[in-house]
Amino acid sequence: MKETLKFGRYLYKGKEVADLEWLVLDETPDGKKLLITRDCIEVMRYEYPQNRNPNPHWTTCVIRLWLNKFFTQQNFTEEERARMLPIPVKTPRKSVLKDKVTLLSAEEALRYFPDQEERRAKPTPRAKRPLRDERICVRNGYCYWYLRELSERCLGNWTAVTTDGSIDEIGADIYLGRPAAIRPVIMIK
């Protein structure tokens, strides 16, 4: 069982705000902790059709922008933001991003959650709400949640963790597939 802690707040249901609960994925000897939300907290699309992005990928997608601007500013105090550390993320083009909030890669999901059952995540009431009349896929109380990579097996699709905890490497079309849930990842000191 992974250690949990509370850090930040998030709109839970309607106007109700709740503490964000995080699972500790890793801890360095100097006390830095890599965290992922216990539940899926939001529903989004990887990219929006109206953006007409001809080459969508993690560096330019809507989710990354939302996580590092809106989510960070709205849900953490100034003191909490000061405790958040940049997380190095390698891109397919060999550059390294240093965002304060990201999503797991498929490799990281398998490393931090080696048991398929452990990878399953429940959506909060907010994540279950419809997004432009579409709902996330929920089965037996668990939902699909995004990983940050595009599919290498099917061009134009995103990867995710499925309702049974397996990694969907084929994914769904970025523009035409259903929205999925978000499980932010942060590092704090």
Number of compact structural domains in the chain: 1
Burial class for 188, CB neighbours closer than 10 Å (0-12, 13-18, 19+): buried
Q: How confident is the model at residue 116 (pLDDT cuts 50, 70, 90)?
A: very high
Give the alpha-carbon dihedral of 61, 76, 181, 104, to 10 degrees. Answer: 70
pLDDT in tens, 16-70: 899 999 999 999 999 999 999 999 999 888 776 666 666 677 888 888 999 999 9
Residue 149, both tokens: 């990579």
What residue numbers bound the domain in which 37 lies? 4-188
Query: How high is the pLDDT of residue 54?
Result: 63
The residues facing 124 across adjacent strands are: none
Query: Do residues 44 and 180 lie in contact, with contact meaning Cβ atoms separated by under 8 Å?
Result: yes
What is the Cα–Cα distance from 67 to 87, expressed in whole angstroms?
13
Average pLDDT in the chain: 87
Q: Is 152 helix (H, G, I), strand (E, B) or coil?
A: coil
Residue 76 neighbours by CB distance under 10 Å: 22
Q: Out of 7-21, 47-61, 100-114, 171-185, which region has the weakest mean confidence (pLDDT)?
A: 47-61
Q: Token pair for residue 26?
A: 């890793």
Q: What are the tokens at 138?
A: 């929920």
Q: Is the pTM of this model over 0.85?
A: yes
Q: Which amino acid is at 152?
A: E
Q: How far apart are CA 91 and CA 73, in angstroms?
A: 24
DSSP run (H or E) holding 125: helix 125-128
